[in-house]
Chain A
């Protein structure tokens, strides 16, 4: 138990790295994922096809393989990234964007066509229809699944442990080796830091979801 207290600074460093990866890749994948979603609902068929293809590949490729590509494969083709956080953020963003896209798209689809038709019928223009009627409703259904995607992202940052990033899980692994008699405590400490993020976020997602369901 004392060893956990003693290791707290290291755990905290790992935690901040995990947070960094989650926040930066989270923001980037929200942007990229929304662009992809725009592709998928666009009136242009070629954009829809390319969007669907990217999402299909993204959802069916293991995250570890995405990491392997950016850390081990890409450099052999002459495109060299610095080791550590940069390829990790890119890999996490590429992978998570596909899931953000699906969440946003199903949010848009969840708004009944009648809503938009009614808006147009009372004379609202395209911009007003979108900003006053469609987007406010879509946002409410989109937020809970998006939070779930971001929770998954937070957990997925652990994969970076295998690719030269000393985040929480990598810290836990090296502490487990430094204190062989306290392995359970060390990994438990690491688990605690993850749960501090994931459980409250999950609870918030659940609460929003219930409010949305009731307000319908």
Chain B
């Protein structure tokens, strides 16, 4: 509340307006653990973050179930819960997390430039990306699928896409896959998946493609308009992006993830977010490459 008032004054004064995000009215659902910088190897990323007492996490801001932000600027979703869990293990409470929006097209640069400490943003682990950043995880395995209009049964899989218009997000893995493997489909890209929904509803495009769990979120919001067509046709392991070569940090996050798979925190995070629409899956095996 205080920050918001400050903001209004800043606007009134037409000042330069450098405002950080506000929010955090809720009581923390994840208590930070009782750790200090000294508990981590000296000079490690963990020690630095614990010392600073804050962390910057990149996530999606427009992805129902995984990372969605309303005007109150409080992100909600499974990715957000995973981020909070990692922060908590560094002794950082959720009020000290700075959430930054990362879109599909800018996740690698954000990590490379050090604008974010980690990215938890429905972020598929792949070899191309591993050349410039490193991944912890996976913490979930999704798969690319197709969403079509509820009354359309002409498409049941990617092979039916020839001559059809498919909508996806610029710079995303699913868009790349369509471009490379299904060249007969006409690909239309926007900056956000939400911008594909109305065109699908209106018949301007025939299908929307991205990961099944993301599509499930949209179907759950408009079941009378949309349906998932057929099965998923790829495997998309979601990882946590971090700076290339920071093996200590990667191992730390992998340990946190494995522990959360064991002690039920992962399942709890799922059930309070994506689990409202989807069944709770088995946690995946972490890949310590």
Contacts and interface: CB of A to CB of B under 8 A. Distances in A.
Interface of A: 72, 75-76, 80-84, 162-164, 173, 177
B267 interface: no
B231 interface: no
Given A72-B198, A75-B198, A76-B198, A162 B191 contact: yes
A162 B171 CA distance: 12
B191 A75 contact: no
B86 to A, nearest CB: 29
B195 A75 contact: no
A167 B133 CA distance: 31
Nearest to B190: A164
Contact of A75 (B170, B171, B202): B202
Contact of B204 (A76, A82, A173, A177): A82
Interface in B192-239: 195, 198-199, 202-205
A83 B188 contact: yes
B195 A83 contact: no
Interface string B26-70: 000000000000000000000000000000000000000000000
Given A82-B204, A83-B188, A164-B189, 8 more contacts: A72-B195, A75-B198, A75-B199, A75-B202, A80-B204, A84-B188, A162-B191, A177-B171
Nearest 6 CB-CB pairs, A to B? Answer: A164-B188, A83-B204, A80-B202, A75-B202, A75-B198, A83-B199
A2 B110 CA distance: 29
A205 B289 CA distance: 61
A177 B169 CA distance: 14
Which of A83, A162, A177 lies at the interface centre, i.e. has the most chain B CB atoms within 10 A of its CB?
A83
A72 B199 CA distance: 9
Nearest to B192: A72
Interface in B251-286: none
Contacts of A82: 204
A81 B205 CA distance: 11
Contacts of A76: 198
Interface in B133-169: 165
